[in-house]
Amino acid sequence: MNETRSGATPAPTRHPWERAAPPWTPPAPDTGPAMTVTIGAEDEVAASRLVVEATSPRGGLGSAMLGGLVMVTAVTVVLASAEHRWKSPIPSGPSLLAILGLIAGFAGLGWLFGAWILPRLRRAAIVAQARRALGRGSSAAPPDGGGPTRIVLGERALHRTGERVANRLDVSLLRGMVEDGDHMVLRFGLVSVIVLPRRDLTPDQQAAVRGWVARHAREGVA
């Protein structure tokens, strides 16, 4: 007769998946400074402009060198041709001064284009694209609907909750922040941005945003 004595140790399971799963412990709430902002279409456009200004190459040294190189190449081609008007293969006097002036002029035009014209053209194109995407006048609205949005700056992520949006952005993606007199723009990854209008933030909340960025961002505040 095979009988099982009470209190006997049960036979061990043969496979790991036959064991009872440990109880699940939810993670601690990701708390931090909280604020409520209202983001309009013009705020999104301003954010696009600030990000473009922050990410555009500064200075026109490369364009200046390119302009000078183009002129040097043109002069070299002329000197190498059999029909150039200079009697000497190496120009001197007024001819040399004219060549140097042309090289300097093209370098100056290159610098002007790279440092002044191109950044403004790029900014205008990005702002125009943002306005087309968001609409104009009474029909203009940001992707989250334009209503009040609650922002929580946690130690693990930024949490955003609004009428049409509820998401989180991990702090590991935070690149930095750009700001002006009206907006603070948080940059995540390659394309994601969170714009915080200053009109909805107290001085203490603005200081909390800067401190949070300083702790977690890779590039800091621009």
First to last CA, the chain: 83
Task: Say which residues have a Cβ less than 8 Å from residue 199's Cβ, sequence separation at least 6.
Answer: 182
The mean of the pLDDT values for the chain is: 75
Residue 1's pLDDT band (cuts 50, 70, 90) = very low
- Residue 4 inside a domain? The answer is no
92 burial (CB, 10 Å; 0-12 / 13-18 / 19+) is exposed
Count of domains for the chain: 1
187 burial (CB, 10 Å; 0-12 / 13-18 / 19+) is buried
- For residues 92 and 169, what is the distance between their CA atoms, to the nearest angstrom? 64
- Residue 191 inside a domain? The answer is yes
Q: Higher pLDDT residue, 118 or 2?
A: 118
Give the domain range for residue 48.
34-216
% of the chain with per-residue pLDDT over 90: 21
- Residue 99 inside a domain? The answer is yes
Q: Is 93 left (phi over 0), alpha (psi -120 to 50) or beta?
A: left
- For residues 74 and 68, what is the distance between their CA atoms, to the nearest angstrom? 10
- For residues 45 and 43, what is the distance between their CA atoms, to the nearest angstrom? 5
- Residue 22 inside a domain? The answer is no
- Residue 222 inside a domain? The answer is no
Q: What tens digit of pLDDT does each residue of 167-215 get?
A: 889 999 999 899 888 999 999 988 788 899 999 999 999 999 999 999 9
- For residues 185 and 194, what is the distance between their CA atoms, to the nearest angstrom? 6
User: DSSP alpha helices (H): ranges in 11-117?
Assistant: 41-55, 61-80, 94-112
Q: pLDDT at residue 80 above 70?
A: no
Q: What is the pTM of this model?
A: 0.58
User: DSSP alpha helices (H): ranges in the chain?
Assistant: 41-55, 61-80, 94-112, 118-134, 203-216
- Residue 2 inside a domain? The answer is no
- Residue 159 inside a domain? The answer is yes
Q: What tens digit of pLDDT does each residue of 66-77 get?
A: 666 666 676 666
Q: pLDDT at residue 154 above 80?
A: yes
